[in-house]
Amino acid sequence: MPRTKANTGYGSKFGIEGATPGDYADQAEVTRIKPIGFSRDEEDATHLQSPDMLKEFIGAMLEATPCEFDFNWEPKAPDPMMDAFLAKSGKYQITAPNGVKMQFEGFFLTYEPGELTNGKMTATATIRPHGLPVLVPAAAPGAGA
């Protein structure tokens, strides 16, 4: 049996595009990223002559589900996450450990710093994507990033 190709998410990054198009600033100390997912509505297309009296369904509208990420929160002013939240939309990038990138446009639904306790300070953010993401292949070895 071939060796598994499973891997961990260690080394993944979440970036926000800055003033220069295509230039993404990786956000520090991200601890969890849930990339965009996908779902599809279904429509009941059953009619009075549906074969074997079984309901029939057809695929309908697609939805790109929100991206979520957690990070170690460091209170600061200005706060790039607050700036991204207040913007009407932005461009974002998830980089997988193998260098493949998922780039997408969207807007922040939530930006929630956690409770202040004796433990580490954390925050969570959720971004609703506009449309489908673009997958960018990893740069070839020896090529520029």
Number of domains the chain contains: 1
- Is 27 contained in some domain? yes
Q: What is the mean pLDDT of the chain?
A: 94
- Is 111 contained in some domain? yes
- Is 91 contained in some domain? yes
pLDDT band, very low/low/confident/very high, at 141 (cuts 50, 70, 90) = confident
Q: Could you list the residue range(s) of the whole structural domain that residue 92 is in?
A: 13-41+66-136
What pTM did the predictor assign?
A: 0.86
Handedness of CA 103, 106, 109, 111 (dihedral sign): positive
Please check the confidence at residue 144 and state whether its pLDDT lies above 70. no
Please check the confidence at residue 121 and state whether its pLDDT lies above 70. yes
pLDDT per residue over 7-31, tens digit each? 999 999 999 999 999 999 999 899 9
Best CA proximity match to 27, nearest among 96, 89, 94: 94
How far apart are alpha carbons 45 and 1 in whole angstroms? 44
Reduced to 3 states (helix: H, G, I; strand: E, B; else coil), residue 15 is strand
- Is 103 contained in some domain? yes
User: What number is the average pLDDT over the span 38-49?
Assistant: 97
